[in-house]
């Protein structure tokens, strides 16, 4: 017992010394019931009470009235007794009634008997209080700085996105200028040359030569019209200034119109067009669908070597469960899918070609087989038009083995009703 008393006396002296030295912290001890047994200078400065005012008073006096009503002081002691330590950051009360944010740590103080551990008894608690207002201000400043940094990073990302968009727009501008400078300049030169020959040799040229020059001018004007039309189409689609009018159409009728249009061009290259006719209807805009099918057939003829074949087929596909969301707003007019496929025996597409097939201003590795013209816009326009009509388009190809383009649009039973939708 003497050893225990000696130890307790030493620990009490050490604690009182530490308590008096630590002036920046409120350090005090309480007995097991919570009555204050020691009070340092730091506690006087922080809380406003002198030692004589608080000794033997319950330490609940530093808690707010709400906390006392909710037995928070007692709960804190129970926590320290159960776990040996209790830490919390809450508002505490000074003598003058002002509140301040404080870090509070309550630690259990056992009386240890190293020789007889069974003699250990509960001796009370040490309480440490620190004004956390300044630290919270620092943390608030840090949070504000962090929020500002996050905002700056978002702005930087937005600026980078805008910069990328500007670079892309500048690239498109260069592409358009390239088309204007090259693809429109050359046809104008051809027209100018044909007109010069007609003007200077009109009286000496035989009729067939005159008609040949007129045909050259006519074909060149068509080519320029196609270039300008493609540029205007892609701009109208991307700016949302195009209106599509879906209606029930005969796929067979549309394909036959396109075949009639390209029959002479195919014959000039000794290319045979084969059409597998089946009776299927689709629900789409007539003009846009014709433009898409024309592009696919035109490309097949354009890139096929002389003497080859092009196959066009119309088929149907039932509406799968996973497809229903693609036709929102079209039911009950739609009953599934109508597919129009165009297969050629051209050079096919490389893996690199397949990755950029439907992008704007893209020139693929395959070249037209009779010097035909290409702006690199056709398939990008096709894809946008098809998607605007709730459809899909894809290509299957192996390099050196031709290509098959498949257009898939909503199928429908014959009805007369039409509706407007915008892109």
Residue 309 lies in a domain: yes
pLDDT of 356 over the 50 cut:
yes
Residue 337 lies in a domain: yes
Euclidean distance between CA atoms 197 and 191, whole angstroms: 10
- Assess whether 255 and 380 both reside in one domain: yes
- Assess whether 258 and 109 both reside in one domain: no
Q: Give how many domains the chain has, as a whole number.
A: 2
Q: Look up residue 150 and give its two tokens.
A: 């996050």
Residue 65 lies in a domain: yes
Residue 397 lies in a domain: yes
What is residue 11's predicted lDDT score, i.e. its pLDDT?
56
Q: DSSP states of 158-226 as a string?
A: HHHHHHHHHHHHHHHHHHHHHIIIIITHHHHHHHHHHHHHHHHHTTTS-HHHHHHHHHHHHHHHHHHHH
What is residue 223's predicted lDDT score, i.e. its pLDDT?
66
Residue 182 lies in a domain: no
Domain of 336: which CATH number? 3.30.565.10
Residue 217 lies in a domain: no
Residue with the bigger pLDDT between 59 and 199: it is: 59
In eight-state DSSP terms, residue 364 is P
Among 101, 131, 161, the domain boundary falls at 131
User: pLDDT tens digits for 276-303?
Assistant: 878 888 999 888 898 889 889 988 998 8
- 403-412 and 334-344 strand pairing: antiparallel
Among 65, 100, 131, the domain boundary falls at 131
- Assess whether 263 and 405 both reside in one domain: yes
pLDDT of 417 over the 50 cut:
no
Confidence of residue 419 (pLDDT cuts 50, 70, 90): very low
- Assess whether 251 and 379 both reside in one domain: yes
- Assess whether 249 and 122 both reside in one domain: no
Domain coverage including residue 91: 2-131
Residue 225 lies in a domain: no
Burial of residue 191, with CB atoms counted within 10 A of its CB: 0-12 exposed, 13-18 middle, 19 or more buried: middle
Residue 119 lies in a domain: yes
Among 115, 131, 147, the domain boundary falls at 131
What is residue 63's predicted lDDT score, i.e. its pLDDT?
95
- For the chain, the average pLDDT equals 80
Region 67-95 average pLDDT: 93
What is residue 163's predicted lDDT score, i.e. its pLDDT?
87
Contacts with 385 (C-beta within 8 Å, 6 or more apart), sequence order: 237, 244, 288, 291, 292
Rounded to 5°, angle at Cα 93 from 87 and 99: 100
CB 403 within 8 A of CB 395: yes
pLDDT of 19 over the 60 cut:
no
pTM given for the model: 0.51
What is residue 230's predicted lDDT score, i.e. its pLDDT?
62
- 309-318 and 272-276 strand pairing: parallel
Cα end-to-end distance, the chain, whole Å: 93
Domain of 15: which CATH number? 3.30.450.20
Region 139-155 average pLDDT: 79
pLDDT of 317 over the 90 cut:
no
What is residue 422's predicted lDDT score, i.e. its pLDDT?
36
């Amino acid at each position: 017992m003497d050893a225990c008393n000696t130890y307790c006396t030493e620990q009490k002296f050490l604690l009182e010394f530490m308590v008096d030295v630590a002036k920046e912290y409120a350090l005090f001890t309480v007995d097991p019931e919570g009555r204050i047994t020691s009070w340092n200078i730091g506690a006087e400065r922080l809380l406003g009470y002198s030692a004589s005012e608080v000794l033997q008073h319950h330490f609940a006096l530093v808690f707010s009235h709400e906390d006392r009503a909710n037995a928070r002081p007692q709960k804190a002691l129970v926590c320290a007794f159960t776990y040996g330590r209790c830490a919390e950051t809450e508002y505490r009360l000074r003598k003058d009634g002002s509140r301040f944010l404080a870090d509070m740590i309550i630690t259990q103080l056992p009386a240890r008997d190293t020789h007889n551990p069974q003699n250990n008894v509960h001796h009370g608690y040490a309480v440490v209080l620190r004004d956390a207002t300044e630290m919270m201000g620092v943390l608030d400043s840090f949070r504000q700085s962090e929020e500002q940094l996050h905002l700056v990073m978002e702005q930087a990302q937005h600026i980078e996105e805008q910069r990328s968009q500007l670079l892309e727009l500048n690239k498109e501008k260069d592409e358009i200028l390239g088309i204007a400078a090259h693809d429109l300049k050359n046809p104008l030169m051809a027209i100018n040359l044909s007109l010069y020959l007609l003007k200077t040799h009109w009286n000496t040229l035989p009729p067939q030569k005159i008609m040949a020059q007129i045909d050259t001018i006519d074909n060149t004007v068509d080519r320029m019209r196609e270039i300008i039309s493609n540029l205007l189409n892609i701009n109208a689609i991307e700016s949302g200034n195009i209106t599509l009018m879906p209606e029930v159409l005969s796929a067979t009728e549309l394909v036959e119109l396109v075949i009639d249009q390209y029959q002479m061009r195919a014959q000039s290259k000794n290319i045979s067009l084969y059409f597998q006719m089946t009776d299927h209807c689709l629900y789409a805009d007539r003009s846009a669908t014709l433009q898409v099918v024309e592009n696919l057939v035109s490309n097949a003829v354009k890139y096929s070597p002389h003497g080859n074949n092009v196959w066009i087929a119309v088929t149907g596909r039932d509406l799968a469960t996973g497809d229903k969301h693609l036709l929102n707003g079209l039911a009950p007019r739609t009953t599934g899918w109508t597919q129009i496929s165009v297969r050629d025996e051209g050079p096919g597409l490389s893996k690199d070609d397949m990755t950029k097939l439907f992008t704007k201003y893209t020139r693929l590795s395959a070249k037209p087989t009779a010097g035909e013209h290409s702006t690199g816009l056709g398939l990008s326009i096709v894809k946008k038009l098809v998607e605007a009509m709730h459809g899909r388009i894809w290509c299957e190809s192996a390099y050196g083995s031709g290509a098959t383009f498949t257009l898939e649009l909503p199928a429908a039973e014959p009805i007369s009703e039409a509706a407007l939708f915008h892109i």
